[in-house]
Structure 1
C-alpha cells in the first residue's frame, strides 16, 4: 500500500460505495440472504457470505440459487432477497462509524458521488433516512448498459458526472468486488473495514479499520478551504 498517495493528496472528486462503507447494511444483506434461502429450505455453506459480499443483487440471487443446487430459482430468490433486505433496512437504517463526519467534511472540498450495486431506490432511501442524500451530487447504479461491480462502469460514470478524471478521483470501498471495480477504473482507493486478505490489500492505497480513524478525519479536515473551516 502507498498511503501517502491519499494522505498527501486532494482528490478532484470522491466516490463512495454505500453498503458497508456509508451505511451499516452488510448485516442486513447477510440476514436477507439467510432468510431467502430458508424460505426454500436451504442453509448457506461456510464462506458464502464473503463470496456474496458486494455482488449486484441479481448476481447474488443467482449465486444463492446455485448454492442451493436450484439454478432455476435465481429470479425468485433475487426477488425474495430484495424484499427481505428492504424490510430489514426500513427497520434499522444506520450509518457506519465516521461516515457522516467524513461526507460532511469532504463535501466542502470535492464533488461527491455514490457508486453502488444496489437498486437506486434502496440507495436513495438509505441515504435520505440518514440525512446524507443531499450531500451527494450523483447516485450511480447499474442501469441501462452499465455493468455492475466488479466492472468499472459505475465508477467511471461517477467520475465523469463529477467532472473529474478517474486518476484524480478517490474511491472509498469495503468489498473486494468494489475495490476491483475502482482499480479497473484507475482510481486511488481507500479501503475500510476489517483487515482484508492479501489480494485486496494489493489493490488499495490506504486501508483503515473505520472512517472515524484520526488519520481519515485529519486528512479530510486539512483539505477544507479556509473560508469553509471558520
Structure 2
C-alpha cells in the first residue's frame, strides 16, 4: 500500500533508477574481470551494485587478489563506464513522467554514488535537469552512509522524515534509512528481499503514478 501523505520533497537515485546504466556498468565490470581471467555473473554483480566507484573498486581489488590497487581499478572502471554511458545509456521506462509529476508538486533532487562527471554524463544522456544534485565524490562518506541524503535534504530545505527517496539498490536503501528518509523501492535485482517502505516493480506502477498525481490536488477540510 502506498503512503497516505504528501512528502515535502523527493530525492531520486540515478543509476538503475532514473537511468538504465546498470547494463553499462556490467559491460565495464565484465571486461575488467575478463582482463584478469575471471567470470562476471550475478554473484559478482551483487558484490558491487549500488556502491560508490571507490568502494566497488576496493571490492574488486580483493576479488582480484590485488591488494592496494583499488584507486587504479577505480580509474580504469570509471573511464570505461563513462564511455559506455555517454554512448548507450537510456532513461528507465517511466522515469521522465515520474520526475515531472514529482517536480510539479514539490522540490526534487538527485543523489547518486557516482562521481560528478559520471552523474552529469548520465543525466545529460537521459535528458534530465536537476537544480539540486549530490554526487558520490562530493561527500565524505557515500552511500550506504546517510551523508548524501542528509546533504540533499539540507539543500532542499526539508527535514529528512518529510522527504521521500526513490532507490533501486540495497546500498541506497540503507543510506536513505540511515538518514531517516522514507523510501519507495524499485529493486534492480528481482527475487531478493527489499525492505523499503513501499516496493513497486516499475516506475510506471499505476498506483504509484496515481498517488503522485494526487499531490497537486487541494485537500478538502474534514466534514
Partner of 1:152 in structure 2? 146
* Displacement of 1:143: 3.8
5 Å-filtered alignment, 1:109-120, equals 109-120=105-116
CA distance 1:42–1:155, change in 2 (3 Å): same
Q: Aligned to 2:178, which of 152, 176, 184?
A: 184
What's the TM-score once normalised by structure 1's chain length?
A: 0.88
Equivalent residues, number: 217
Gaps of 5+ in 1: none
Give the whole-Å Cα distance in 2 for the aligned partners of 1:94 and 1:11: 28
5 Å-filtered alignment, 1:41-52, equals 41-44=37-40, 47-52=43-48
5 Å-filtered alignment, 1:5-154, equals 6=3, 8-44=4-40, 47-133=43-129, 136-143=130-137, 145-154=139-148
Q: Is this contact kept in 2: 1:120–1:139, CA < 8 A?
A: no
CA distance 1:166–1:47, change in 2 (3 Å): same
Q: Identify which range, 105-114 or 35-44, moves more after superposition.
A: 35-44
CA distance 1:51–1:159, change in 2 (3 Å): same
4+ aligned runs moved over 2 Å, structure 1 = 37-46, 142-146, 193-198
CA-to-aligned-CA distance 1:68-105 (integer Å, 9 cap, x gap): 11123222211111111011112212011111100011
CA distance 1:84–1:176, change in 2 (3 Å): same
Give the whole-Å Cα distance in 2 for the aligned partners of 1:183 and 1:10: 18
Backbone CA RMSD of aligned residues: 1.7
Gaps of 5+ in 2: 219-223
